[in-house]
Chains A and B, each alone.
Chain A
Amino acid sequence: MALPTDVAARRARACKTFLEQAHAATAAEGINPSTLHAIKLKLVAFAKRTELFPLADFAMPEAQARNHPLLVEDNDGYGLYLTISLPGKEAAPHDHGIWCANAAISGRERHVFYRRTDDGKQNGHAIVVKVGEVVVEPGTGIVMADHDIHSTEVVGDRPAIGLSLYGYALARFPSVTWFHPEYSSVRATPSRRHAA
């Protein structure tokens, strides 16, 4: 049986290797739908290695959702996180301003995808329409470009635990744009790019 420290060391090595593979996938062509898809497939495969992510190594949220940094690169590098979201946790439609990929380790999370249909000229106003939906569960994942819009919701009575890879670390995120169909409104959180 592997000791906890062995698992942590193996996880750290595996995360480093994974990010090297992610960079290799984009080295020649940059970020585009094809390379993002390749990254998603690698992340889904990584999330299947559940022996690297024992729950005992990751504290449950104080509230209902928590991000655990696995490997965060310096400056404008990528950020890889293990995310835990408890039943009932949700997020309104939003884009991240940067690409991302998610893959499930355990549990289920519904992602609904939207398209903005207004011209963006009226400050604070936006119309989004639903264009698709997928439930991410073990063996599956999603990938989104910088301004793709999704909402999330934990499905069922178990925590949704997964891996999230972002083009920037969360601490250096650009402005995140949030859409509220019920109010036809749009709001943005401040950019953290200055923290780079």
Chain B
Amino acid sequence: MARSAKTFQVTIRNSGQTIACTTDRTILQAAIAAGIDYPYACATGNCATCVSKLEEGKVSLLPHSDAALGKAQLKSGLTLACRARPRSDVTVNWLARAGG
């Protein structure tokens, strides 16, 4: 039997908002659903437009490319909002502004 998704609180420092995000959704998906103008482009872990500082908490990452987020960046506390699913309450801060 499939386990139901947990819900965590995601605080987005740039907009000053805290939103709910289930463990089966990405931070970007939850932000878009909440009407937050989170920067993004590919939304699939290829371009790094949504690269963010993970200030607090834990996430799990869906598949992404080395060019978008390498080991060193991951180690330095960066994440991709489009690939990150919360595993605790988290606080993120996006680093860029989207084009397009």
Contact = CB atoms under 8 A, between A and B. Distances in A.
A86 B67 contact: no
Interface string B69-100: 11100000000000000000000000000111
A177 to B, nearest CB: 7
A62 B42 contact: no
B63 interface: yes
A180 B43 contact: yes
Tell me whether chain B's interface is mostly helix, strand or loop, or mixed. Answer: loop
Contacts of B98: 187
Given A91-B46, A124-B100, A177-B100, A187 B41 contact: yes
Contacts of A65: 46, 63-67
B52 to A, nearest CB: 16
Nearest to A88: B63
A90 B41 contact: no
Nearest to A86: B63
Given A63-B66, A63-B69, A64-B65, A175 B99 contact: yes
B44 A91 contact: yes
A92 interface: yes
A87 B62 CA distance: 11
B63 A188 contact: no
B65 A61 contact: yes
Given A124-B100, A187-B99, A61 B66 contact: yes
A63 B64 contact: yes
Contacts of B61: 63
The interface centre, meaning the residue of A66, A89, A186 with most chain B CB atoms within 10 A of its CB, is A89
22 contacts: A61-B66, A62-B71, A65-B46, A65-B64, A65-B66, A66-B65, A66-B66, A67-B67, A87-B63, A89-B63, A89-B65, A90-B44, A124-B100, A176-B41, A176-B42, A178-B42, A178-B43, A178-B47, A178-B100, A187-B42, A187-B49, A189-B47
Interface of B: 32, 40-47, 49, 61-71, 98-100
List the 6 closest A-B pairs by CB distance, nearest first: A188-B100, A64-B63, A65-B65, A187-B100, A88-B63, A187-B41
